Amino acid sequence: MNEFNTLPKTVKKTVRYIKQDSTLEQLSYIQTLINSTINLRKEKLAMGINKGAKEKGEKSEGKN
């Protein structure tokens, strides 16, 4: 199985949209949005902060 098939459905749909239907303006906006989101996520992971895990930890601590 190729690696593309292991990605979430939304990512595959986004890639197909980019390849088939997007305008030049949309491509620029999508690129900016995705790049900034990826960079932010990389920074959080590098700092060891995973928002989902942090929130779950805070909820379980409050219950004790």
Rounded Cα distance, 31 and 29, in Å: 5
Boundaries of every domain in the chain: 3-63
Angle, nearest 10°, between helix axes 24-46 and 9-20? 150
Confidence check: pLDDT of 58 > 90 = no
Between these two residues, 18 and 63, which has the higher pLDDT value?
18
Judge whether 44 and 51 are in contact, CB under 8 Å.
yes
Q: What is the pLDDT at residue 33?
A: 97
Work out the pLDDT band at 56, boundaries 50, 70, 90: low
Which tens digit of pLDDT belongs to each residue from 11-48? 999 999 999 999 999 999 999 999 999 999 999 999 88
Q: What is the pLDDT at residue 60?
A: 47
Q: Is 22 exposed, middle or buried (0-12, 13-18, 19+ CB in 10 A)?
A: middle
pTM, rounded to two decimals: 0.65
